[in-house]
Amino acid sequence: MNIHSTDVLILGGGLAGCMAAINAAEYGVKVTIVEKSHIERSGAAGTGNDHFWHYNPDIHPERGWTIPDMVRDISFEGEYGKTKAGLMDQELLEIVAEGTMEAVNNLERWGIQFKYDKIFPWNLEYDAPEGEKKYRIVPQFQSAWDTLNYDGRDIKKILAEQCNKRGVEIFNRTSATGLMKNNGTIVGATAVNMRTGEFHVFKSKAVVMATGMDQWRLFKPYSGDWFNSQSPPTITGDGEAMAIRAGAEVFVLQAGKTSNAGFQYFRNLCRSSGAATTSYPAGRYVNSEGETMIRHPAVREPLRKHRENVEASIRDGKTPFYLDMTMASEEEIAYAEWSYKNEGLCWVILEIMQDLGLDFREDAFELDLEAAGRLTGGFLALWINTDCETNLKGLYACSPVQFAGEVAAPTAVVLGWRAGEKAAEHASKNSLIEPSSAQINEEQNRVLSPIESKEGHPWQEVNKELNNIMEEYTGYVAGWSPPGNRDEISMQGLQNCVEQLEVLSSRNMKAGDPHELVRCNEVMNLIDVGLMIVKAAMNPDQYEAGNWFIGKIIDNEPVFEKRPIKIKYPPKEEA
């Protein structure tokens, strides 16, 4: 067993975790990152990011955009329409908007290029001081033109360098396994090395949960392959499971983390946002007759406004659909290719296209045709307040603005930064508290049991059966979020799922090596996440618009409550 002490312990070294570490280190406290892969290429931005929305005080106010306008726009009029009303925490979103300019300035100072000599006709025209380079701004998710296209392919390497410069202690290949608690306060975490199998105990004055915003492998994979996912397939709700076990509050969306992809992605939901946002401005969505259904699919409005074109094409049998750049100018295609080079998972598309002899100038790319409102299951996130605090003293998190997936990189960057600051402040005012050795031993036994057991099921077998149970669960929760659209559910069916999950969690797994050990722990975490989601669906109180639906474990059973959302900026017609 390896025992360490630190001031601020950051679990997860993606965008949020690295920003938290860099900021915390500025406060003169000792900072430690625990990352299950390697911080240079970890997380959803591991292989890059090409789009970052921001609020720019030198550009937006003179165009009539205030931060409240932007918050209102994202909350109520964004891509998903009023169905998202109330699903976004506007106070957190406001904090994100307020923090984006500072984030861009920091990233630029650290070596990431955001400004260019040349901007293009499809970029926002604005006045910059004489001789100064300009941002390449495009419209993307919001009505305001606020998205920066930039050279973000190696953003993680830049952040890793900044962590190293500040003396942040980094444990790569080390997967966090559990939070340690003493008298209601979080006092650290345990972890296991994925290569050596060594068990680690990190005592810490503050902990930041930055483990990523997905629970991959909980439900059946869309294309039959767990390892084909939009963000790392190793983001398996570890943070949420650790938090649940420690008694933290989690925001529960129990039915309907509908894949918002629709036809934003290539066939089989591949390659992140390559199809839509990254093809701007060259892209068109065309039907099988080559008729343009949506021009500029990246831009918020067309996707929502031209849905009827899409539906007409489906009715008329003009499927499948394609991303077509063949009608674009050379300059537009070159810009899209520059975006692909920088966006996560997309650089590889360019390489593969070379190998397969494909070219955006000649070929149209088949899109995924996903029915709107397809129920894909449930989702959890650690609930946080505007100081990134969870309900557990000493535990901070950088959750995705209480489920608002479209806000992406800026959310991780700004809330990570903020969580780092708050955690550092907490650490400077508090002392280390010892975890109990009983707790450590219990945790060590739990985590290492698959490698210590003589026999058991391989992780893949348990994972598949988990997928089957969760599929059965979605069948019992007919209907779809938004709330109120849910049809009658089968309580008996849900209870059946709970029982199956409990039996599944009692089955021993066998790991042949430390890598498989971590996979086994991921599956254990996913089962805990699944139980929370299914039990939430059995609760008499359900998720409804205008309320957060929060769950936490009390005396080994989850307890749920509805917590009213404060709408700081209601839609204009209601104001």
SS3 for 328? coil
158 touches another protein (CB under 8 A)? no
User: Closer CB to another protein, residue 46 or residue 188?
Assistant: 46
234 binds another protein (CB under 8 A): yes
Calpha distance 200→187 (Å, rounded): 14
Residue 268 interacting with another protein (CB under 8 A):
yes
Give the per-residue SS3 of 231-265. Answer: CCCCCECHHHHHHHHHCCCEEEECCCCCCCCCCCC
- The contact pattern for another protein, residues 13-42, with x = CB under 8 A and - = no contact, is -----------------------xxx-xxx
DSSP β-ladder status, 185-193 and 174-182: antiparallel
Q: Within positions 497 to 526, which residues make up the interface with another protein, using CB under 8 A?
A: 515, 518
120 vs 347, beta carbon nearer another protein: 347
Is 292 one of the binding residues for another protein (CB under 8 A)? no
Q: Compute how many residues bind another protein; rule: CB under 8 A.
A: 49
Q: According to the binding rule CB under 8 A, does residue 266 interact with another protein? A: yes
- Provide, rounded to whole angstroms, the least separation between the CB of residue 365 and another protein: 5
- Of 343, 277, 348, 341, the closest CA to residue 46 belongs to 343
| Minimum gap (Å) between residue 404 Cβ and another protein | 24
Element (H, E) at 323: strand 322-324
Whole-number minimum distance, CB 37 to another protein, in Å? 5
**Which residues 43-102 are close enough to bind another protein by CB under 8 A?**
46-47
Residues, the chain, total? 575
Residues 6+ apart with CB under 8 A from 313: 287, 288, 291, 293, 319, 321
For another protein, the binding residue among 195, 305, 507, 572 (CB under 8 A) is 195
Which residues within the stretch 325-384 sit at the binding site for another protein (CB under 8 A)? 326, 344-345, 347-349, 351-353, 355-356, 358, 362-366
What 3 state SS string does 14-57 have?
A: CHHHHHHHHHHHHCCCCEEEECCCCCCCCCCCCCCCCEEECCCC
Q: How far is the CB of 275 from another protein (least distance, A)?
A: 10
DSSP 157-177: HHHHHHHHHTT-EEETTEEEE
Spatial separation of the C-alpha atoms in residues 444 and 452, rounded to whole Å? 11
Query: Which of 26, 225, 471, 502 touches another protein (CB under 8 A)?
Result: 225
Judged by beta carbon, residue 135 or residue 266, the one nearer another protein is 266
Decide: helix, strand or coil at residue 219: coil
- Binding string, residues 162-191; x marks residues near another protein by CB under 8 A: -----------x------------------
Q: Which of 243, 254, 179 is nearest to 219 (CA)?
A: 254
Stretch that binds another protein, among 179-187, 260-268, 372-380, 397-405 (CB under 8 A): 260-268
- Distance of alpha carbon 336 from alpha carbon 353, whole angstroms: 14
Closest of 412, 13, 392 to residue 188, by C-alpha: 392
Among 33, 194, 298, 440, binds another protein (CB under 8 A): 194
**Is residue 226 within 8 Å of residue 466, measured between CB atoms?**
no
- What CA–CA distance (Å, rounded) separates 463 from 194? 19
Among 79, 324, 443, 465, binds another protein (CB under 8 A): 324
Q: Does position 270 bind another protein by CB under 8 A?
A: yes
Given the rule CB under 8 A, which residues bind another protein?
A: 36-38, 40-42, 46-47, 153, 173, 194-195, 223-225, 227-229, 232-234, 266-268, 270-271, 286, 290, 322, 324, 326, 344-345, 347-349, 351-353, 355-356, 358, 362-366, 515, 518
